[in-house]
């Protein structure tokens, strides 16, 4: 796959230190610094493809699960269903739940739905992109996880991927009790990278259309806006958006990498909060949120801006920033103590959300 010769929407500055607030987060973690060259070599092989099908398949390789991960088929059961999209397409959902759920005391009323929107730049990725996280979430007896196989750009550019997520959410709302044995008023949106942007856009859609049911957002390394709109966001809200320049090559993320995916998802991009949620006037009224952000990530400052906008809107927000680690580090470097901490924190947030939801 081919990149542009230079970024179109942001400047380049090899000496950039980033902004004064967020720039210091990019100082490399020593363990990552030692492994960076090897990780970059692996990433280079994944990008060697002449067509989208090959490119997508390159990213579907399976890796051993870290010790302590619930085992598929043993601890977690999976099934697949098709649900209707607005244009007649059938969206596949992967339904994951604890193998012990049938024997547990959990009722539909106290079982929540974790609605997963996978990462992959809106153009690659699948149900198992964040398989470790999904297995942990689905192993809880009070959880049913539903992963959305939304259609991908460039064959299906914006707004189709988002519309698929909205349509899947609407189906879950209407059918959770009968089809999932879960509560349609207890839905957590779980998104990684591009999936976080989709989760935010879905949450804004639900807020603006007075649709109930979403009780929490769990957003990993979130996307917040197309870089074309960074100048406007700096002027309107004072966000520090310098990580595209400071971290032009963040191993998995990068300025040219992001523009490659954004050009596929939003060709001829226009001003729209549905693909750039940070353009919204406020995040007030969104449910409690949990964010995990990598310090050496081209998307870092968007994640921080999302957290700031949530906090300014009065939304209870928990934020963790991991010093000097790259985008998706929890999947790349599973032995790092920070990767274990990352997963433990996500597990704890989900557990807290379940307890709060079922205490009412």
pTM here? 0.97
**How far apart, in whole angstroms, are the C-alpha atoms of residue 169 and residue 183?**
13
Tens digit of pLDDT for each residue in 115-161? 999 999 999 999 999 999 999 999 999 999 999 999 999 999 999 99
**Position 235 in a domain:** yes
317 within a domain of the structure (yes/no): yes
Question: How many angstroms separate the CA atoms of 254 and 298, rounded?
Answer: 5
pLDDT (tens digit per residue) in 208-227: 999 999 999 999 999 999 99
pLDDT class of 103 with cuts at 50, 70, 90: low
Structure tokens at 26: 């990019």
Average pLDDT over residues 12-28: 98
Residue 295 lies in a domain: yes
Q: Which residues contact 88 (CB under 8 A, 6 or more apart)?
A: none
> Is residue 33, in this structure, part of any structural domain at all?
no
| 272-284 pLDDT per residue, tens | 999 999 999 999 9
CATH of the domain at 292: 3.40.50.1820
- The neighbouring-strand residues paired with 255 are none
Query: Does some domain include residue 214?
Result: yes
Residue 92 placed within a domain: yes
Residue 12: pLDDT over 90: yes
Question: Is residue 207 in a domain?
Answer: yes
Q: In angstroms, how far is the first alpha carbon of the chain from the final one?
A: 51
Distance in angstroms (rounded) separating the CA atoms of residues 337 and 269: 39
The answer to whether position 38 is within a domain reads no
Evaluate the omega torsion of the peptide bond into residue 159 and state whether it is cis, within 30 degrees of 0: yes
How many domains, the chain? 1
Domain limits for position 90:
49-359
């Amino acid at each position: 796959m081919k990149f542009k010769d230079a970024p179109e929407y942001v400047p380049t500055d090899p000496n950039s230190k980033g902004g004064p607030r967020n720039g210091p987060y990019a100082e490399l973690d020593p363990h990552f610094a030692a492994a960076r060259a090897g990780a970059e070599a692996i990433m280079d092989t994944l990008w060697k493809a002449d067509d989208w099908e090959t490119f997508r398949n390159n990213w579907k390789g399976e890796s051993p699960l870290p010790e302590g991960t619930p085992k598929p088929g043993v601890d977690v059961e999976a099934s697949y269903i098709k649900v209707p999209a607005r244009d007649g397409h059938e969206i596949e959902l992967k339904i994951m739940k604890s193998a012990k759920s049938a024997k547990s005391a959990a009722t539909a009323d106290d079982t929540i739905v974790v609605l997963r929107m996978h990462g992959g730049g809106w153009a690659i990725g699948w149900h198992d992109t964040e398989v470790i996280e999904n297995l942990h979430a689905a192993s809880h007896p009070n959880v049913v996880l539903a992963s959305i196989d939304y259609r991908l750009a460039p064959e299906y550019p914006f707004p189709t991927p988002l519309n698929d997520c909205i349509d899947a959410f609407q189906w879950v709302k209407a059918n959770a009790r009968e089809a999932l044995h879960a509560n349609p008023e207890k839905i957590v949106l779980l998104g990684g990278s591009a999936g976080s942007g989709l989760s935010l856009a879905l949450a804004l859609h639900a807020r603006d259309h007075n649709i109930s049911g979403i009780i929490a957002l769990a957003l990993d390394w979130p996307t917040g806006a197309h870089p074309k709109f960074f100048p406007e966001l700096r002027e309107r809200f004072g966000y520090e958006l310098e990580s595209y320049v400071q971290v032009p090559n963040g191993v998995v993320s990068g300025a040219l990498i992001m523009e490659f995916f954004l050009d596929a998802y939003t060709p001829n991009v226009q001003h729209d909060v549905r693909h750039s949620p940070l353009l919204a006037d406020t995040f007030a009224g969104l449910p409690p949120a949990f964010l995990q952000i990598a310090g050496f990530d081209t998307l870092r400052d968007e994640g921080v801006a999302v957290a700031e906008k949530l906090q300014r809107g009065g939304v209870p927000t928990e934020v963790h920033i991991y010093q000097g680690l790259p985008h998706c580090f929890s999947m790349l470097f599973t032995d790092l103590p920070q990767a274990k901490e990352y997963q433990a924190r996500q597990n704890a947030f989900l557990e807290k959300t379940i307890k709060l939801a079922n205490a009412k």
